[in-house]
Structures are given as structure tokens and as C-alpha cells.
Amino acid sequence: MPNYIKVAKVNEMPPGTAREFHADGKVIALFNVDGRFYAVDNTCLHRGGPLGQGALEGEVITCPWHGWQYNVTSGQSVFNEEIKVQTYEVKLEGDDIAVGFDG
């Protein structure tokens, strides 16, 4: 069962928001897609760009460095089906957004 760590308040993440957070020794990118929250590893697999600083359009985040794109609901690369960033479970605990980490 994942260990959930609170990373933000719901009111800090309006719909369409992408942000970076440090939790469990990692940097994760957190997204609000129409009121649903998703978390992925913050590092783009192309050149290490910060996904949490990218542009979120619908369910797709675009890396600000070189334009690589990922579906935030699955971590899947839009360009190559063999490439996927790590995803993390997200749950709401009252007004808190918590991200689940294994271990």
C-alpha cells in the first residue's frame, strides 16, 4: 500500500494547473485536469526537462525544454508508445492533495 504524502491544498491547484513538488526524496509534477489530480515524475525522459513547468492542455503536458509531450493520466509519451514517465496515485484528504509513494 502506498505511503501518501500531502503536497498541496486543492485551492492552490486550479483546473489547468501544473506544478512541481518535492516529496519522498523525489520531484514530482502535479496536474489538475478539470478537477481531477494526477502526478508523474517531474523529469522529461528526453533531456531531463521539468514537466511541472510545462504547458498543460487537457490531459497533455508539454515539456518546456524541447516540446516532448506526455499524457498526465497515464504517463505515456504522445510521440512514442514505448516511452512512459512514472505515475503516482493521487487522493484527496479533505482540502489536501496527497501523492502515494511505494515503500
9, containing H or E segment: strand 3-9
- The residue assigned the cell 503536497 is 7
Residue 89: all three cell numbers together = 496515485
What is 3-101's CATH number?
Answer: 2.102.10.10
- The residue assigned the cell 508539454 is 62
What pLDDT does 1 receive?
Answer: 82
> In the predicted model, is pLDDT for residue 103 greater than 80?
no
Q: What is the distance, to the nearest Å, from the Cα of residue 29 to the centroid of all Cα atoms in its chain?
A: 3
pTM for this one? 0.95
pLDDT-based confidence at residue 99 (cuts at 50, 70, 90): very high
